[in-house]
Amino acid sequence: MYVAVKGGETAIANAHAFQAEQRRGDAAQAPLTLGQIEQQLGLAVDRVMGEGALYDRGLAALAIKQARGDLVEAAFLVRAYRTTLPRFGYSLPVDTARMTVLRRVSATYKDLPGGQVLGPTFDYSHRMLDFALAADAGEGGGGEAPGAPLAEAPLDPAMPHVTALLDSEGLIQPEPPAEPDAPPPGDITRDPLLFPAPRDLRLQSLARGDEGFLLALGYSVQRGYGGSHPFVGEIRQGPVAVEIVPEELGFAIDIGDIDLTECEMVNQFKGSRLRPPQFTRGYGLVFGWSERKAMAMSLVDRALRAGELGEERRGPAQDEEFVLYHADNVEGAGFVTHLKLPHYVDFQSELELIRRLRAEAEARLARASAEERAAADAFATAAV
């Protein structure tokens, strides 16, 4: 009996069982624990938290394990779970000036109040595979590095933002202070993004946007598709306190710390008919230790401000609909992969159409050549 290629429930269940088996891999290997993922693949966890838009290291580690290390799939798992979570309220804005800084670098000043703090970084490491790490952890400790030495003196607790230093001279465009009657920032996880999008919504979209996409756009800005001349004013990383004001208390309470990476990019601006020359800002803020993404984000944020600064839009990074509609990898991955779903009804209608158009075109051609032959015959007859 003829059966069209259609998947029954059994086929789907079997496919998922097969995937679970592949995920586990060789049973002779010890299974990964969430603690191992959280501790030893911390930057993967950070990326999944950022793009999954949920700060929970344990859930991110679970998602990474379930997704077999596919971080885009893991971010999707976290997002889908996030949908089901109740919302208790909004925190106060986090104050990154009060961050417990573990890393802080500025490219614009050799030294500055609070100093340069290198912190944990891949920078200046030679990217040579470290075969000591390949040794099995079970046999002789696995060649793991000993702990890092402690600094001789604690860091200066005062770590002013570099942009605040420029601000005091009036050299950098001030961030507009929140007006008392201004509406609270929007929330792209509750309301659809509409265009033109204000900066709060742009920053939210970028903060959970795909790192690869932002990296490419930021790179394009540097190569001339958007004409920016950026300097890293400052990158800072470390834990920041999150505070909420419960209605019944009426004052702020600290509910814990989250690790953040913040990047403030200082950009040249030559001025326009409307504004004197001044430095302008690009801003990046990402969950966890995600320096590359925070930097790319700050480049793209600045590029998207072309409109308000009266700059000509020349590159894709300056086009807010292009950037914001395509930055989300959960949306993008879904829509790209949906092409493997059956489309045979639309395809059938296209088939019918193409066949009809071809038949008509061939009929026209045949008619034309018949007319041509007739004309040639008539000419020949006349000539005789």
Partner 1 sequence: MDTLPARPATDPGYNFGYLDEQTKRMIRRALLKAVAIPGYQVPFGSREMPLPYGWGTGGIQITASIIGPADTLKVIDQGADDTTNAVSIRRFFARVAGVATTERTAVATIIQTRHRIPERPLSAGQILVYQVPQPEPLRQLEPREAEARKMHALADYGLMHVKLYEDIARFGRIATSYNYPVMVNGRYLMAPSPIPAFDNPKMHRMAALQLFGAGREKRIYAVPPHTEVQSLDFDDHPFKVWRADRCCDLCGAPDSYLDEVVTDDKGGRMFVCSDTDHCAERRGAGHRGPLAGHALQEIAEGKS
Please state the closest distance from residue 129 (CB atom) to partner 1, in A.
Answer: 35
One of 195, 248, 250, 382 touching partner 1 (CB under 8 A): 195
Size of the site for partner 1 (CB under 8 A): 49
One of 352, 362, 371, 372 touching partner 1 (CB under 8 A): 352
Output phi, psi for 239, to 5 deg: -80, 145
Nearer to partner 1, 85 or 158 (CB): 85
How many Å apart are CA 230 and CA 208, to the nearest integer?
Answer: 22
Nearer to partner 1, 213 or 289 (CB): 213
One of 36, 39, 100, 348 touching partner 1 (CB under 8 A): 348
Q: Does 353 bind partner 1 (CB under 8 A)?
A: yes
One of 17, 43, 80, 375 touching partner 1 (CB under 8 A): 80
Nearer to partner 1, 76 or 289 (CB): 76
Three-state SS across the chain?
Answer: CCCCCCCCHHHHHHHHHHHHHHHHCCCCCCCCCHHHHHHHCHHHHHHHHHHHCCCCHHHHHHHHHHCCCCHHHHHHHHHHHHHCCCCCCCCCCCCHHHCCCCEEECCCCCCCCCCCECCCCCCCCCCCCCHHHHCCCCCHHHHCCCCCCCCCCCCCCCCCCHHHHHHHCCCECCCCCCCCCCCCCCCCCCCCCCCCCCHHHHHHHHHCCCHHHHHHHHHHHHCCCCCCCEEEEEEEEEEEEEEECCCCCCCCEEEEEEEEEEEEEEECCCCCCCCCCCEEEEEEEEECCCHHHHHHHHHHHHHCCHHHHCCCCCCHHHCHHHHHHHCCHHHHHHHHHHHHCCCHHHHHHHHHHHHHHHHHHHHHHHHHHHHHHHHHHHHHHHHC
Q: Does 9 bind partner 1 (CB under 8 A)?
A: yes
One of 346, 380, 381, 384 touching partner 1 (CB under 8 A): 346
The 305-324 site mask, x for binding partner 1 (CB under 8 A), equals ----------------x---
In one letter, which amino acid is 348? Q
Q: Does 356 bind partner 1 (CB under 8 A)?
A: yes
Q: Which of residues 198-227 bind partner 1 (CB under 8 A)?
A: none
Please state the closest distance from residue 8 (CB atom) to partner 1, in A.
Answer: 6
- In total, the chain counts a number of residues equal to 384
Please state the closest distance from residue 374 (CB atom) to partner 1, in A.
Answer: 22
One of 182, 341, 380, 384 touching partner 1 (CB under 8 A): 341
The 238-277 site mask, x for binding partner 1 (CB under 8 A), equals ----------------------------------------
Q: Does 25 bind partner 1 (CB under 8 A)?
A: no
Nearer to partner 1, 23 or 356 (CB): 356
Q: Does 1 bind partner 1 (CB under 8 A)?
A: yes
Q: Does 11 bind partner 1 (CB under 8 A)?
A: yes
Cβ-contact 295, 218 below 8 angstroms? yes
One of 343, 359, 368, 373 touching partner 1 (CB under 8 A): 343
Residues near partner 1 (CB under 8 A) are 1-2, 4, 6-9, 11-12, 76, 79-80, 82-84, 86, 189-196, 321, 325, 330-331, 333-338, 341-346, 348-353, 356-357, 360
